[in-house]
Structure 1
Amino acid sequence: MVKPVKLAAATAATLALLVGAAQADEGMWTFDNVPAAAIGKSTGFTPDAQWLKKAQLSYVRLAGGCSGSFVSGEGLVMTNHHCISDCIAELSSAQKDYQADGFLARNRAEEKQCAGIEINQLVDITDVTGKVEAATTGKTGQDFANARRTVLADLEKDCAGGDDKLRCDAVTLYQGGRYSLYKYKRYQDVRLAFAPEAAAAAFGGDPDNFNFPRYCLDMSLLRVYEDGKPIASPNHFKWSREGSKEGEASFVIGNPGSTSRLRTIAELEFIRDNVAPSFLFWAQERRGRLIEFGRENDDRRREALDDLSGTENGVKVWRGRQIALADKDFFGAKVRAEQELRAKIAADPKLAAEVGDAFTQIEQAQARYAQLYPRFIMLERSRAFDSELAAFARLLLRAGDERGLPNPERLREYGDSRLPALKQRLSNPAPVHAELEIALLSFSLTKLREQFSPDDPIVKAVLGKRSPDQVAEAAVKGSKLGDPAERLRLFEGGKAAIDASDDPMIALMKLVDQAARQARKSVEEEVDAVVEQAQARIAKARFALYGDSIYPDATFSLRLSYGKMQGWTEPDGQEVAPYTTIAGLYERDTGAAPFAIPPSWEAARGKVQMSTPYNAVSTNDIIGGNSGSAAINAKGEVIGLIFDGNIHSLSGDYGYDPRRNRSVMVDVRGMAEALRTVYDARHLTRELGVQ
């Protein structure tokens, strides 16, 4: 198990993002604001426009929440094993378990379609700040939220132009200080070419998660098709034959999910006191339920594996965040940083007038959020309805209602430019495991009753005279939504088909939809709108003070991080080297999960080059969502594949410490050696240029 770690004391300089330019190798930079001079000073290499454009077009985004990159001219995409675990699970069966056995297509005909994966390639970025400001100026509260929703929906629709092969996302940057429109080429025919065994990909399991040294082959290879043929991908990252050396530059291209580095102290206090405890109480109990479910038999263990891994990962992430926000030195530095920013604003009469009472407004909004949060998270975010079938029912129910409205008036996730992705999700043939569904839905309904009491009107409407177990079993066993054909029938039939449906899961979600929508509306009007307008004024003050030498918080949009291959020194003086080798994998093997190597690696014991670098760390600034990102060198060659951060990086949501925050990657030399020697996949190493 991971030992408790006291986060290293942070300094105001470490967290200088809040009041000035980024320090050292810190930063997740948008491609229209890359600090080329700072990169050159730090790494000795200054990227030019041509290098950046190739990097932009070589990366891809997996719509489910990960990153990836083209690594050949024939549509081959590299990402993490854990990023496509849903695909591997859906392709598996009791007769052929690809999680346990791995998967290798010996030719293109054997590549298997991952029905639930959509890949997006960024082709254009446009600044639309002026258009959003023109539409929202002078508006507050719900008027502001409505105007903002309308203009963003129109921008996305006009950008895509009705072309299902394009996806456009309006992205909020600097907490509302700027807006950009990202245009993507959309690919929905994605096929699996290679995935190792889960025991190799996640060697060390939860005990090793967020730790280093590591010995994981957390990689997979997909191929993108269009019109039944592999696409041509002239922009791609070649694999390096030589790999990297300690101290050499490393660039990470990917999609960090979200950070909170520019948030005010009031917002961070809300996360510390409300969001983190709420999640941890729920997730730790959910983890226990999943462990017990998986102990029933091998089939149940396989069915619960994905949910359990994700829950365990979430527990560690949020525990690390809570520790960071509770650490007096770390949080004290954040407080001092905000005080310095506020003092600089107050010292400039013009800035002080423009910012006004923005900080106070945010504080008041957080107090209101504390009142709204329980119903918002349980109903609108569906923590009380932890079920794939319930998610399908919610999607269908709202799609029926929203598609009858003009595009600008809809909830954003049901805008015209988002519908192709929703339809693909509904058509995914991945099996829905009924007993797991019942177990999770029953658990979450129990938490609903605990949260609001048996006398709450919503609880009464959902449970009536029945127990959570009885409601869950009836809804799951009576539902037909596990059949993609039925889901598509209802989707295409629209509101009339939904209203006519007697599916018990749809009926269940109808009971709470009005209350869930009201919870969302209250948060959007009384919290989000207030905070975004206030943060926009603060952001303008930052720009006035520091120009574009600051980067926005992560938003699951394309970013560039620069750093170097480098280990670190623990607070107790222990030196952590930047590389591990394949020899270390065999030394760590105990024969018992999660430290058991799979049979393929046992068979290769006398063949692999034991000195081959296997995993590595760098100073690159990353966060969740960077999983699957390529780490490349100055020549644009792959030197690694990001799959984790170290334990110190768990505070990275709120600040970056260059002394110990590290990205963890699979070394390109380890991936090449595994493909060549362990899996005999030389057709892939030839395509990758590392035969």
Structure 2
Amino acid sequence: MVRATLLATAAVIAFAAAPAAADEGMWTLDAFPTERMKADYGWAPDQAWLDKVRGGAVRLTGGCSASFVSPQGLILTNHHCIATCLANNSSAAKDYLNDGFVSSRREDELKCPGQQAEVVTSITDVTTRVKGAMGSLTGEALTKARDAEVASIEKAGCTDTATTRCQVVTLFGGGQYKLYQYRKYSDVRMAWAPEDRASTFGGDPDNFNFPRYALDAAFLRAYENGQPVATPQHLKWNPRAPKAGEATFVVGNPGSTSRLWTGSQLAFEREVRLPVTVATTSELRGRLIQAMQESPEKEREGLDTLNGIENSLKVFIGRTKALNDPAFTGKLAAAEADLKAKSARNAALGDPWTEVDSAVSAYRSLYYPSRFMQPSSDLLGYAQTLVFAAQEREKPNGERLPGYTDSSLPLTEKRVLDARPVYPWLDKLTLEWSLSKAREYLGADDPDTKLLLGKASPEGLAESLVSGTKMADPAVRKALWDGGMKAIKASDDPMIVYALRLADRQRELRAKTDAVYSGPLAIAGAKLSDARFAAYGDTLYPDATFTLRISYGKVAGWTERGEQVPYQTTMAGMFERATGNAPYDAAPGFVAAKSKIDPNATFDFVTTNDIIGGNSGSPVIDRAGTVIGAAFDGNIHSLGGNYGYDPVLNRTVVVSTDAVQEALEKIYPAPALVRELAGK
């Protein structure tokens, strides 16, 4: 196996502050760079192609992407995107996460708590309205005016909140505002998933590396009124091997990037946010591993959480390495200097860089309190949402906090009321960890520490809150949701009482952040956006915002330490790599079906497409518009992709439809799904 490193000192790195180069770009569907792709590839999709793809692309509100791949609401995504659904449906008697799930009848498909599938139906520019509402306001007044106008636009855009969702999205740091309208499906069910080890073969050592042998794929289904939804705009399933050099498209919802950040924002990331995140997350990982070793039950109940923590930790460590690499940061600084030079004669622009510097400087004193005043606990999370929802619903729609407006409440309510298991030991572990870190970083005598703990220890407070609350009961949560502030004030549930205790300080910190950070950044961001368009024209794309984007690229390996990394792996390669010891122990289903499996079938492959977290599950589409894979990872070099794209080394890792078809037919047989995918 070729071991990848994050250093890219010899690479040519392209950044979004300047015109996008090579295969860089997470483009909005209403601004695809047709001419640029034609120049690079000799062909580009037309509007009809883009419209069809948009109609088949799905956003999962759990933080992933997906696609409809049959007329009956069948959804392709990644296994790691639905692992929580499997875990939530599991018990000591049946462990779906470990064993996988294959439904022979649609009636047996498993509901996924809190999950919602959404398809973009239109994108409308509302920049003039939002900026007009902001006018010449500053600070907290600006953010309140902006949020009120956003709430008004969203409410008017989606009067049927049962089937539609509206979301105004900020692009280019405040340079543009777009209204995204969605057709939503609130009943999402599990249809097929392999064993966990089939998806996670290679475990943490292979995460963000290649070659990979991971069957990171699963199928969901969208329902409405108890029946599978009709999805005539689905994408065609094409179970074939990729071809070297062929054009590929990734259509999904990249979560967040920071490619348009200034030097002071990146410095804050490197000096403040990332160090505390890496240190505290590493400790949480250790605490959880130790606890999971206490019993098979805890091992089962903690596995999904551990997988998520390990994945996030690797991302944070990779970003830290990127921002501490002089060659990498030198390219960032050069791109910023180029933009400043091109903007120097624009007197109307002012000095947005100094404005950002001041905002970031002011935020430094607010960051730790804001971070640690949000203790980590599913049960406390329920209580805090119930408290804030009750308080916000007493206000006019335009005065509410984001997340509690009329357009947002249906999803908030669903997440609070959907039934799912909460394991007391695990909730107690995360709560006492976060409280102990608050005391460590804020100090024992800090007023916020005293508000969080009183005279209790982190361990004692976590024990009393978790053991005394009834927040795990959906019926209790529903009564509090329906009862509003009257029910909240009358409740003696310790989590509700604690959430009320913290609420005023949480609001105060938010208001201060709006005044000195978010408000000024909105103004400066709009100026920086104007500067970029003036300097580079329209060859730009906005930072990722977990909204629908398309990237184009090609199937291609790369050169690592003088060796060529191949663009694909095969089924035979997985068996050669297996050692029988975790995490290189082949899944039992693969072992049992070894003689049936085509050893030459493509398992995973890599492309030059530009993606980031949130793109997990995105369909990888060929020129014909058919699905040939699902993106599930990046290589180790892509961890710096939050700040800049490297066309030489950055790669998207994809599970091939060739491998998924083998699994559907021979390893975890699902003949009904095979027929459905074939259109029979």
TM range (shorter): over 0.9
| Aligned counterpart in structure 2 of residue 173 of structure 1, from 158, 171, 174 | 171
- Aligned residue in 2 for 1:550: 540
Identity between Structure 1 and Structure 2 (%): 47
- Aligned residue in 2 for 1:198: 196
> Which amino acid in the other structure matches residue 664 of structure 1?
V
CA distance in 1, matches of 2:598, 2:2: 30
Q: Does structure 1 conserve the Cα–Cα contact (< 8 Å) formed by 2:190 and 2:220?
A: yes
CA distance in 2, matches of 1:122, 1:338: 34
Q: Does structure 2 conserve the Cα–Cα contact (< 8 Å) formed by 1:10 and 1:657?
A: no
- Aligned residue in 2 for 1:369: 363
CA pair 543-462 structure 1, distance change in 2 beyond 3 A: closer
Q: Does structure 1 conserve the Cα–Cα contact (< 8 Å) formed by 2:366 and 2:513?
A: yes
CA drift of 1:162 comes to: 4.5
CA drift of 1:6 comes to: 4.5
Q: Does structure 1 conserve the Cα–Cα contact (< 8 Å) formed by 2:70 and 2:679?
A: no
- Does 2:609 match 1:615? no
- Does 2:509 match 1:519? yes
- Within 5 A, what are the aligned runs for 1:192-591? 192-346=190-344, 348=345, 352-379=346-373, 382=374, 385-570=375-560, 572-591=561-580
Q: Does structure 1 conserve the Cα–Cα contact (< 8 Å) formed by 2:620 and 2:627?
A: yes
CA drift of 1:78 comes to: 0.4
CA distance in 1, matches of 2:438, 2:171: 34
- Aligned residue in 2 for 1:17: 16
CA distance in 2, matches of 1:596, 1:243: 25
CA distance in 2, matches of 1:476, 1:261: 40
- Does 2:623 match 1:629? no
CA pair 482-532 structure 1, distance change in 2 beyond 3 A: same
CA drift of 1:622 comes to: 0.2
Deviations 1:211-239 (A, max 9, x none): 00000011110111111111110111111
Q: What secondary structure, in the 3-state scheme, does the structure 2 residue paired with 1:121 have?
A: strand
Deviations 1:540-593 (A, max 9, x none): 1221222221000000000000000000001x2121000000001111112222
CA distance in 1, matches of 2:14, 2:282: 31
Q: Does structure 2 conserve the Cα–Cα contact (< 8 Å) formed by 1:43 and 1:564?
A: no
CA drift of 1:17 comes to: 2.2
Q: Does structure 2 conserve the Cα–Cα contact (< 8 Å) formed by 1:2 and 1:207?
A: no
Q: Does structure 1 conserve the Cα–Cα contact (< 8 Å) formed by 2:4 and 2:636?
A: no
CA distance in 1, matches of 2:379, 2:512: 26
> Which amino acid in the other structure matches residue 121 of structure 2?
V
- Aligned residue in 1 for 2:5: 5
CA distance in 2, matches of 1:241, 1:221: 15
CA drift of 1:297 comes to: 0.8
- Aligned residue in 1 for 2:106: 108
Q: What secondary structure, in the 3-state scheme, does the structure 1 residue paired with 2:76 have?
A: strand
CA drift of 1:3 comes to: 6.8
Q: What secondary structure, in the 3-state scheme, does the structure 2 residue paired with 1:622 have?
A: coil
- Aligned residue in 1 for 2:635: 646
Q: Does structure 2 conserve the Cα–Cα contact (< 8 Å) formed by 1:672 and 1:690?
A: no
> Which amino acid in the other structure matches residue 184 of structure 1?
Y
Q: What secondary structure, in the 3-state scheme, does the structure 2 residue paired with 1:56 have?
A: helix
Deviations 1:160-187 (A, max 9, x none): 1153211111000000000100000111
Deviations 1:494-532 (A, max 9, x none): 111011100101111222211111111111110111112
> Which amino acid in the other structure matches residue 34 of structure 2?
A
CA distance in 2, matches of 1:504, 1:495: 16
CA distance in 2, matches of 1:233, 1:574: 45
Q: Does structure 1 conserve the Cα–Cα contact (< 8 Å) formed by 2:4 and 2:637?
A: no
CA distance in 1, matches of 2:621, 2:6: 32
CA pair 450-242 structure 1, distance change in 2 beyond 3 A: closer
CA drift of 1:111 comes to: 1.0
- Within 5 A, what are the aligned runs for 1:81-92? 81-92=79-90
Q: Does structure 1 conserve the Cα–Cα contact (< 8 Å) formed by 2:59 and 2:252?
A: yes
Deviations 1:99-143 (A, max 9, x none): 111000001111111122111111010000010111112111112
CA distance in 2, matches of 1:406, 1:445: 34
Range with greater deviation from structure 2 (542-551 or 426-435) = 542-551
CA distance in 1, matches of 2:391, 2:143: 20
TM norm structure 1: 0.96
Q: What secondary structure, in the 3-state scheme, does the structure 1 residue paired with 2:23 have?
A: coil
> Which amino acid in the other structure matches residue 480 of structure 2?
L
Q: What secondary structure, in the 3-state scheme, does the structure 1 residue paired with 2:131 have?
A: helix
| Aligned counterpart in structure 1 of residue 93 of structure 2, from 92, 95, 117 | 95
Structure 2 spans left out of the alignment, 5+ residues: none
Deviations 1:474-507 (A, max 9, x none): 1011100001111011001111101110010111
CA distance in 2, matches of 1:131, 1:628: 34
- Does 2:666 match 1:667? no
CA pair 25-497 structure 1, distance change in 2 beyond 3 A: same
Deviations 1:413-451 (A, max 9, x none): 101111111111112211110111111111111111112
- Does 2:158 match 1:160? yes
CA drift of 1:392 comes to: 0.3
TM norm structure 2: 0.98
Matched positions, count? 680
Q: Does structure 2 conserve the Cα–Cα contact (< 8 Å) formed by 1:10 and 1:333?
A: no
- Within 5 A, what are the aligned runs for 1:669-684? 669-684=658-673
CA drift of 1:457 comes to: 2.6
CA drift of 1:369 comes to: 1.2
> Which amino acid in the other structure matches residue 520 of structure 1?
R
> Which amino acid in the other structure matches residue 673 of structure 1?
E
Q: What secondary structure, in the 3-state scheme, does the structure 2 residue paired with 1:322 have?
A: helix
C-alpha RMSD of the superposition? 1.5
Q: What secondary structure, in the 3-state scheme, does the structure 2 residue paired with 1:639 have?
A: strand
Q: What secondary structure, in the 3-state scheme, does the structure 2 residue paired with 1:516 have?
A: helix
CA distance in 2, matches of 1:135, 1:160: 20
CA pair 55-67 structure 1, distance change in 2 beyond 3 A: same
CA drift of 1:241 comes to: 3.7
> Which amino acid in the other structure matches residue 409 of structure 2?
L
CA distance in 2, matches of 1:292, 1:16: 42
CA distance in 2, matches of 1:389, 1:621: 37
| Aligned counterpart in structure 2 of residue 64 of structure 1, from 62, 68, 71 | 62
CA distance in 1, matches of 2:317, 2:161: 43
Range with greater deviation from structure 2 (622-631 or 592-601) = 592-601
CA distance in 1, matches of 2:314, 2:533: 35
Q: Does structure 1 conserve the Cα–Cα contact (< 8 Å) formed by 2:4 and 2:209?
A: no
CA pair 527-650 structure 1, distance change in 2 beyond 3 A: same
Q: What secondary structure, in the 3-state scheme, does the structure 1 residue paired with 2:233 have?
A: coil
Deviations 1:373-431 (A, max 9, x none): 1011111xx2xx11100100110010010000011111011011111111111122111
Q: What secondary structure, in the 3-state scheme, does the structure 1 residue paired with 2:408 have?
A: helix
CA drift of 1:9 comes to: 2.1
CA drift of 1:16 comes to: 4.2
